[in-house]
Amino acid sequence: MSPNAHLHELRALIDRHASRPRPLAVDGLLLTRADRPEAPTASLARPVLAIVAQGSKRLTLGDRVHDYGAGQYLVVSVDLPVAGHYTQAGPEKPFLACGLALEPAKIASLLLDTGTTPLPRGTTSHGLAVCDASAELLDAAVRLLRLCDRPGDAPVLAPLIEKEILWRLITGEQGALVRQIGLADSQLTHISRAIRWIRDHHTETLRIEDLARLAGMSASPFHRHFRAVTALTPIQYQKRIRLQEARLLLMSSTEDVADIGFAVGYDSASQFSREYRRAFGSPPGQDAVRLRGGVSESSLTR
């Protein structure tokens, strides 16, 4: 079957199952359908594979811009604060994509089973990449989605097809990036420890020396590797996490705006308001009214 035929079937499968309210038969399968473009929205991208069947999307990470569309896939290797929006989506031709969460344990197991050559020491990849999907990867994705119509087969066949998809990634153009997810001693894994600490302690004062020690590096190499992976400095990363956490609180809480700013780690209400507006396009109070009004936002990378 040709790549175009794979995409045609993939579009039909995603379109049919993306809007169904019942759980999908395949655990961990992610489906997205959007029928209109949108303004850029900040979110936290988790480690994921996303394959686009129709339409296109743009993700911005720091000063890096990534556009991806039909027949391409996105790989995210660590938790990254991104801004994203659909650039091609409409009622007649909606944006359609499918994906899988990338779990380090599954990748590590596959690397051990296959004896895949480890990466050279010191190798660091960007935390996000886009490239063309091979016919083999598209074929595996189609077979995985077909299981949504055959739930009785899913428990047995889905793990096998997911393993094949991971293998296609490991042996493909972004193999180095995907392998780093599963290698306990990779630079990406060390940086991931620092990223998790920032996310879990985003209200606390950040010290580069402490983060570098957690990652097993000296301060200068740590700063360089962190920026290579995330396109942000550790301070910038922490700021993005604080602002995204503040936005979630604004949507779900009735607390005063200033109190929310203090809750996520800001000492100055004016600084919080200024940086929030710069990140999201409107002051926190105004944005809270809009968010509480029921405006929904969805993304495959969230």
Domain borders along the chain are 3-182
What is the pLDDT at residue 19? 80
Sign of dihedral through CA atoms 246, 247, 250, 252?
negative
Among 14, 44, 88, which residue's Cα sits nearest to residue 238?
Answer: 44
Contact 202, 238 (CB under 8 A): yes
Torsion angles phi and psi, residue 34, rounded to 5: -135, 130
Q: What is the pLDDT of residue 299?
A: 41
d(CA 20, CA 41) in angstroms, rounded, equals 24
Residue appearing with tokens 């690397």: 111
**Which residues does the chain have with pLDDT short of 70?**
1, 21, 116-125, 184-185, 294-302
Residue 172 and residue 141 in contact, taking contact as beta carbons nearer than 8 Å: no
Task: Tokens for 144, please give them.
Answer: 């995985």
Mean pLDDT of the chain: 88
CATH annotation of 3-182? 2.60.120
Neighbours of 120 (CB within 10 A): 7
Query: Residue 301: how many CB atoms within 10 A of its CB?
Result: 22
pTM, to two decimals: 0.78
Report the pLDDT value the prediction gives residue 295, as an integer from 0 to 100.
42
Answer for the pair 259, 289: CB distance below 8 angstroms, yes or no.
Answer: no
80-109 pLDDT per residue, tens: 999 899 999 999 999 999 999 999 889 988
User: Crossing angle, helix 284-292 and helix 269-280, to 10 degrees?
Assistant: 60
Q: Taking the alpha carbons of 231, 237, 239, 243 in that order, is the dihedral positive or negative? A: positive
Cα-to-chain-centroid distance, residue 79: 7
Which conformational region is residue 231 in: left (phi greater than 0), alpha (psi within -120 to 50 degrees), or beta? left
- Output the pLDDT for position 192: 86
98/247 Cα distance (integer angstroms): 27
